[in-house]
Amino acid sequence: MKGKYEIFQSTANNEYYFRLKASNGEPILASEGYTAKSSCQGGIESVKKNSPDDNNYARKDSKNNQYYFVLKAQNHEPIGHSEMYTTKASRDNGIESVKRFGPDADVVDLT
């Protein structure tokens, strides 16, 4: 089964975002905002390229025993981030999902 990228535009700031969802529909990666849709599409291409490499993931701990990750491009710029997880193991499972679904997920434009 394949995951999917969804491109959408925020009504709050008119910026474009994407989210990567696993085959079960759960969101596993969210982007930062982009002022142009073409830049958002470029962000998706960067996830497709960079998601298979474990070295591109920064594993983070936040306050209140929450864990998350950031996917970075080759230039070390962030491409997307995960939701908050309650355990490190759950965070690491999220990374594995992005590795599995990121490279060949379909793109759905919701704009």
- Going from N- to C-terminal start, the domains of the chain cover 4-109
The model's pLDDT over 61-82, given as tens digits with 9 standing for 90+, comes to: 987 889 999 999 989 999 999 9
Confidence of residue 19 (pLDDT cuts 50, 70, 90): very high
Q: What pTM did the predictor assign?
A: 0.93
19, 105 Cβ separation under 8 angstroms: no
CA distance 17 to 34: 6
8, 110 Cβ separation under 8 angstroms: yes
CA distances from 90 to 20, 40, 93, 103 (A): 17, 27, 5, 21
Percent above pLDDT 90 for the chain: 93
> In 10 A of CB 66, how many CB atoms?
14
CATH domain 4-109 topology: PH-domain like (2.30.29)
The model's pLDDT over 39-52, given as tens digits with 9 standing for 90+, comes to: 999 999 999 999 99
